Each structure stands twice: as C-alpha cells, then as structure tokens.
Amino acid sequence: MLVDNNTIIDQYFIGEPGLSLYIKEGDMNILFDVGYSGLFLQNAASMKIDLSKLDFLVLSHGHDDHTGGLKSLIQFFSGKKSSNEFEEPTVVAHPWALWQKQLDNCDIGSSVTAEILASNFPIMFTKEPLWLTEKLVFLGEIPRRFSFEGQKPIGKVFTKNGAVDDYLLDDSALAYKSNLGLIIITGCSHAGICNIIEYAKEVTGIEKVVDIVGGMHLLSPSAEKMKNTIDYLRTLHLNKIHPCHCTDFYSKTQLAGVAKIYEVGVGLKINYF
C-alpha cells in the first residue's frame, strides 16, 4: 500500500486522502492509482520499490485522489529516460477516466489530459475486461445490476457532447485469481462493491471470493444501502476484508459482522499466491 488515508503503526510512511497500490504478479509490476500527489513516489522509495520497472499503470477512475500523482509520475519517468534501465509502462483505464470532472464548479478530475498522458506513455483505453497477466484482470466498465448502489451521480463529467451527470461509468477494479479464490482490488467502488464482485465472478468464472482490498465507497451510507451490501457480502462467506480510503468507521463495524476486518494503511503488504 503506497498511499492511503492512514498509515500502519510503527512504520514511518506518510498518508494522504487518496489511494495507490503496488502489485507484483509473477514478473509483472503494476501500479494501481497514483494518489492525490507525488507522495506515492516518496513512500515507494522508502519501501525500496523501484517504480521505473513498471509494466502497467492502472487507473481505477478519474477522480483527483486517484490521478493527482500523474504529473509527478511523468516527471519521474522523464528523469529516467536517459537510463538503460528505463521501462515504459502502459496505462490502462476506462475511456472516460481522463475527461474533465467537476463538483460544485470545482475540478475533481485528473489535471493531466489523455493527450498529455499519451505523449508520455502508451495508453490502452477499454470498456472491456483486459487481462494484464494470466491471473490479474482489469474489469473495464462495471454493469450496474443492483438498484441500491452506483445509481447516484457525483458532479458532472464533460463528454464530447457536453456536460452530463457523472455516474462514474469509468470506475473499475482489478480481480486476481489466487489459489484460494478471487481477490477483489478496488479504488473507490463508485460502481458499487456488489456490482464489482458480481462482474468479477462473471469475467473470471470463479465464484469463491476470498478478500476485498481497497475503497468501498461506504461513507455515511443509507440504511438501505448498508443492509443490502451486508446481506450480499454475507452470501460470499468471505475469509477477510481490507477496507480503506473511502470506507468510514461505521461501515467497517458493520462489515465486521460479515468477515474479519484487517487494518489497512500505507506500508501494508499482503501476499497471495
């Protein structure tokens, strides 16, 4: 965990209200989101993680607490281009992820446009699932199957046809096929954590879900949303949950009735095989 709102006790890293994860799967190195600033680079250096060897940069969605570090990443790689060790990562995201977003007339989307990013890295925009490795898949656009989540807009997104209500159709996630079952890795779960899991099971063909790692967008949820989410998650017989970032304390107490809740923060390392 390179960036989260919290840090793990007795590990001297820095947190911010954003999210960034470093994932190593076989020989592949993946950066999942870049937090709100360049802090992910500082924490990665403190953890002795070499981000110049990335194969993929995956963006969960376009909000600035997940894309704010893109300028710093561009600068980081610009300083590496003269090195023989330099490897250029491919950016993977939904086609809408870098479109302008506003809430109450304030910009809340990426400050780096698709054009600027494409001038620095190869980009694969996709609404369809994309397998990054044999075990790890980017889910693309998540179908909204449950009526209690992913149904409310957050501000506006500026499409090619003008500004429309932003239902965060660009919100996606990763699914990893471990030997025990699926590990769901989320950014903010604006699409809805239940929607994400159902689609991950469909894409991978695996029913067993072992763990959820990441933001679940349970911030002062309505009683209906909380109940329906808990009822759904209970049917999964989860081993554990690692909720963070945009999951409030009340929601964590409710989730504890479904599975064991683990502390999350910058410096956390989780191993699955």
Residue 135, helix vs strand vs coil: coil
Are the CB atoms for 186 and 212 separated by under 8 Å? yes
Confidence (pLDDT) at 80: 76
Sheet holding 156-159, edge to edge: 106-107, 101-103, 156-159, 162-165
Confidence (pLDDT) at 85: 64
Confidence (pLDDT) at 87: 77
Are the CB atoms for 182 and 176 separated by under 8 Å? yes
* Domains detected in the chain: 21-261 (3.60.15.10)
Residue 233, helix vs strand vs coil: helix
Confidence (pLDDT) at 84: 64
Task: Output the pTM of the full model.
Answer: 0.97
49 Cβ neighbours under 8 A, 6+ residues apart: 2, 22
Confidence (pLDDT) at 22: 98
Please list the ranges in the chain whose pLDDT falls under 50: none
